[in-house]
Structure 1
Amino acid sequence: MATHEMPPAESVWDYPRPPALRRDPRQIVVECAGETIAATTRALKILETSHPPVFYVPPADVRTDLLRAAAHHSWCEWKGGAEYWDVVVGSDVRLLAAWSYPAPRPPYEQLADHVAFYAGRVDRCAVAGYTVRPQEGDFYGGWITPEVRGPFKGGARTAGW
């Protein structure tokens, strides 16, 4: 697997609100139950104040045959309605392990049908060969990579940030 150098250190407190949408050419890999669920160098990422980046993988680079639609939905004030996915590899089922926006609101239309994964609900997520740490909490799905600095929203006592 090819790796790329990590960008310079950055603080999530320098990220904008509303969030920015950026392309990220680094190798993104998601693994679960012995399978590579997603692999791309064409990811989009969302940068939002106080959050580690969320990486969205193009549908062509996701093993959609291993995703099962879940009944759960949520609403983002910026991107609109999200649908959720279980990752199913044989008898191994990871509930609500991924989400996507089928019809994101402007200016986030490029995210349509791209899939984001909760790093803590699959076995491994990596950026440029580095295994990420999941953002704390059970709602936000940011990936903490070596260049990203907090403190991060999502953990205990951060709901009011």
Structure 2
Amino acid sequence: MADKPRLQPGPDHPITIRPSTERVVVTVAGKVVADSRNALTLQEANYPPAYYVPLTDVDRSLLERTETTTYCPYKGEAGYYSIPAGGEKSVDAIWEYTAPYDAVAPIVNHVAFYPNRVDSIETTPL
């Protein structure tokens, strides 16, 4: 098997990470899965911004680790969690990079949520 490509962010594919200026609350099936005033906002190329929430601000009792993994040449290997309370909609709803590449090191110990796999991701200014 060939080695996976490893790329650096740059002018053709910029990635920026900054502390969010918003409180981020994620809900599924009437339950608050995450509530954070310490999220990071990751902006990658032309993709919509993603909020990365510290695991300490996530109710991990609501999560179930899955076997799913994906690979990003800019960030590394991602693992996934489902939120059983959300049913089929919330399978693999959350991803995390447990050993992100150096360019995105701040996202370690953080998770991000697919907006279409949770009921809401609400943000309010801090």
Distance 2:38 2:12 in 1: 22
Aligned residues between the structures = 114
Residue in 1 that maps onto 2:49: 53
Residue in 2 that maps onto 1:109: 105
1:31 to 1:104, Cα distance in 2 relative to 1, 3 A: same
**TM-score, normalization: structure 2?**
0.83
Residue 77 of structure 2 corresponds to residue 81 of structure 1: yes
Q: 5+ residue gaps in structure 2?
A: 1-10
Aligned structure 1 segments of 4 or more residues deviating by more than 4 angstroms: none
**TM-score, normalization: structure 1?**
0.66
Secondary structure in structure 2 of the residue aligned to 1:109: helix
- Equivalent pair of 1:84/1:98 in contact (CA under 8 Å): yes
Alignment root-mean-square deviation, CA = 1.8
- Deviation sequence 1:104-158 (CA, Å, 0-9, x none): 01021111121100110111111218xxxxxxxxxxxxxxxxxxxxxxxxxxxxx
Quick one: which of 37, 41, 46 aligns to 2:37? Answer: 41
Q: 5+ residue gaps in structure 1?
A: 1-14, 130-161
